[in-house]
Amino acid sequence: MQVNENFKPVIVAFCCNWCSYAGADLSGTNRLNYPANVKIIRVPCSCRVNPMFILRAFQKGADGVIICGCHPGDCHYTSGNYFTRRRITLLYSMLDFLGIERKRTRLEWVSAAEGAKFASVMEQFVSDVQKLGPNRRLEDLRCRKQ
């Protein structure tokens, strides 16, 4: 497949306040590099991420959405990330139905101590989405930049 080097995917990352957002901060503190396409939205827990937000992002022109939460068993709210895991599994079957590549949505567990993991996960995710090319399937053309 031809990879368009000039294509700069728009990536939305949802990070839980307790683990992954702190992990993202840590990768900054350690000056670890990852692509600037990733924009982080802070949520209290990964279970706050309504699948609707993910669909909205795709509709508005995002090329990839990544949700980061605490590792299973480490959720600050006891069980929030288990809900997320199930909801994302269900969302995958819906995205399959809509014809959106699974690789555009990703769920990752990043702890507050895993700054390096956060950077490498973002690097990997951006390159995966880069290979897929722009998201055209769900994008609302009325929202497209003029």
Partner 1 sequence: MQRIGVFVCHCGTNIAATVDVKAVAEALGHEAGVVISQDYQYMCSESGQNLVKNAIKEHKLTGVVVCSCSPRMHENTFRKAAASAGLNPYLVEIANIREQCSWIHKDIASATEKAIILGRAAIAKVHLNTPLTSMESPVVKRALVIGGGIAGIQTALDIAEAGFEVDIVEKEPTIGGKMAQIDKTFPTLDCAACILTPKMVEASQNEKITIHSFSEVSDVKGFVGNFTVTIKKKARYVDETKCTGCGLCTEKCPMKKVPNEFNMGLDNRRAVYIPFAQAVPKVATIDPNYCMMLKNGKCGVCSKVCSAGAIDYKQTDRFVEQKYGAIVVATGFNPIKLDKYDEFAYSYCPDVVTSLELERLMNAAGPNGGTLLRPSDKTHPHTIVFVQCVGSRCDDGKGKQYCSKICCMYTAKHAMLIREKYPDTEVYVFYIDVRTPGKNFDEFYRRAVEQYNVHYIKGMVGKVSPKADGKIDVQASDLLAGEQLHINADMVVLAAAIEPDKTARPLATMLTTQMDTNDFFTEAHPKLRPVESATAGIFLSGACQGPKDIPETVAQASAAAAKAIGLLCKNSITCNPCVAHSDELMCNGCSACEKVCPYGAITYQDKEFRMPNRTTAVRRVASVNPAVCQGCGACTVACPSGAMDLNGFSNSQIMAEVDAICK
Q: Interaction with partner 1 in 88-117: which residues (CB under 8 A)?
A: none
* Euclidean distance between CA atoms 67 and 22, whole angstroms: 14
Nearest of 14, 4, 119, 8 to residue 56 by alpha carbon: 14
Q: State which of residues 66, 70, 80, 106 lies at the interface with partner 1 (CB under 8 A).
A: 80
Q: Interaction with partner 1 in 18-77: which residues (CB under 8 A)?
A: 21-22, 24-29, 31-34, 36, 39-45, 47-53, 56-57, 60-62, 73, 76-77
Distance of CA 139 to the CA centre of its chain: 17
Q: State which of residues 3, 4, 72, 79 lies at the interface with partner 1 (CB under 8 A).
A: 79
Is residue 142 within the footprint of partner 1 (CB under 8 A)? Answer: no
* Euclidean distance between CA atoms 5 and 85, whole angstroms: 32
Is residue 12 within the footprint of partner 1 (CB under 8 A)? Answer: yes
Of 1 and 143, the one with the shorter C-beta distance to partner 1 is: 143
Write down the least CB distance from residue 2 to partner 1, Å.
24
Is residue 141 within the footprint of partner 1 (CB under 8 A)? Answer: no
Is residue 10 within the footprint of partner 1 (CB under 8 A)? Answer: yes
User: Binding residues for partner 1, per CB under 8 A?
Assistant: 10, 12, 21-22, 24-29, 31-34, 36, 39-45, 47-53, 56-57, 60-62, 73, 76-80, 83, 87, 119, 143, 145
